[in-house]
Amino acid sequence: MSGPISKSDQTFLRHFSMLIAGLVLLALALIGLAMFIYSRHTISQDAALETNADAAASARIAPVGAVYAGDTGRAAMQAAKEAAAKAAAAQVAYGGTTDGKSIYDNLCHTCHTAGVAGAPKLGDKAMWSARIAQGIDTLIKHATEGYKGPDGNFMPPKGGNPALTDEQVANTVKWMVSQVK
């Protein structure tokens, strides 16, 4: 039963062949475009990765913890503690400024403007008089180490910012006291 292909079948096959050929060309064009984009993206990424490759590799393979044993471990633990203390000291708050007003404006005003947790308001002589009577050294000690009063007032150590140095805390307390006098 095979006979000649009808005219409508020939037209269908021709159109179908052209459609398939067009789709193949479109696919090849998209593949070429993707390869071009990928090659440009990879070059820029490789340049960026080369600069941080060592640091990234070190971070990925760094141990999560350490085990210390015996005298050698004790020495290593002490060295690690000193390194951590040195790193913490290098991160001084507010650029290392010792200006009490600047530190107050950045940190202390939060509680000492509104009287949060019983904090004496800046400039309020009634609230500050009993505290000042204890002496500036006591005020600095409470600000540095933290304080919980008998009436429920609370001062977090270093105002809640452990990056402050003792000198910064002392200068800030002195500045605040000078605003009351």
Report the pLDDT value the prediction gives residue 88, as an integer from 0 to 100: 65
- 125-175 pLDDT tens trace: 888 888 888 888 988 888 888 888 887 788 888 888 888 888 888 888 898
Token output for 131? 């505290």
DSSP 147: E
Of the ranges 44-53, 62-71, 101-110, which one carries the lowest mean pLDDT score? 44-53
Question: Domain boundaries in the chain?
Answer: 93-178
Note the helical H segments in the chain. 7-61, 70-90, 100-103, 109-112, 125-133, 136-145, 166-178
HSE value, Cβ hemisphere, 13 Å, CA-based, for 93 = 23
Domain 93-178 has CATH 1.10.760.10: yes
- 17-36 pLDDT tens trace: 999 999 999 999 999 999 99
Report the pLDDT value the prediction gives residue 27, as an integer from 0 to 100: 97
- What region, left, alpha or beta, does residue 123 occupy, with left being phi > 0 and alpha being psi -120 to 50 degrees? left
Q: Are the CB atoms for 159 and 133 separated by under 8 Å?
A: no
Q: Are the CB atoms for 144 and 157 separated by under 8 Å?
A: yes
Identify which has the larger pLDDT, 66 or 145: 145
Token output for 30? 């998209």
